[in-house]
Amino acid sequence: METRPNLYYSKEHEWVRAEGNLAYIGITDYAQNSLGSIVYAEVPKKGKVLSKDQVMGVVESVKAASDVYCPISGTVVEANEALADAPELMNESPYENHIAVLSIQNPGELKELMNQAEYEEFTKEE
């Protein structure tokens, strides 16, 4: 499974890329591989205030719907509407296709997430 340096990772297999006070959030390669073909995606609305661990969206595979959990608290400044028409982009390039961009409410929450090495260790045990 591919992981990227310079990203934060959650236990629910989301990744976070922090750029200034913005956080780009998506699902990891491990997540898209477990799901299989993603056939539907629901992204959050612009302006939505999300707390850490709150459900921020849904990705559906052929067999089931899976909630996407917000890894850190923030407000949605942009949602990737392209995923609505092409949810398979998350399978093809999970790290290039974010679900939403949040303005970070509490940068301290980033420390609670895993780094690349920790996430790789985590996925080995799953």
Which chain residues interact with other proteins by CB under 8 A? 36-37, 39-40, 42, 58, 60-63, 65, 84
Shortest spacing between CB 4 and other proteins, in angstroms: 24
Nearer to other proteins, 18 or 39 (CB): 39
Quote the CA–CA distance of 79 and 1 in Å, as a whole number: 26
Measured distance CA(77)–CA(72) in Å, rounded: 14
How near is the Cβ of 122 to other proteins at its closest, in Å?
20
On whether the CB atoms of residues 28 and 74 are closer than 8 A, the answer is no
Distance of alpha carbon 14 from alpha carbon 30, whole angstroms: 9
* Closer Cβ to other proteins, 60 or 78, answer by number: 60
C-beta of 16 vs 83, nearer to other proteins: 83
Q: How far is the CB of 37 from other proteins (least distance, A)?
A: 5
Sheet with 65-69, edge to edge strand ranges? 38-42, 55-61, 65-69
The distance of closest approach from Cβ of residue 67 to other proteins in the complex, given in angstroms and rounded to an integer, is 10
- Please, which residues bridge with residue 59 across strands? 41, 66
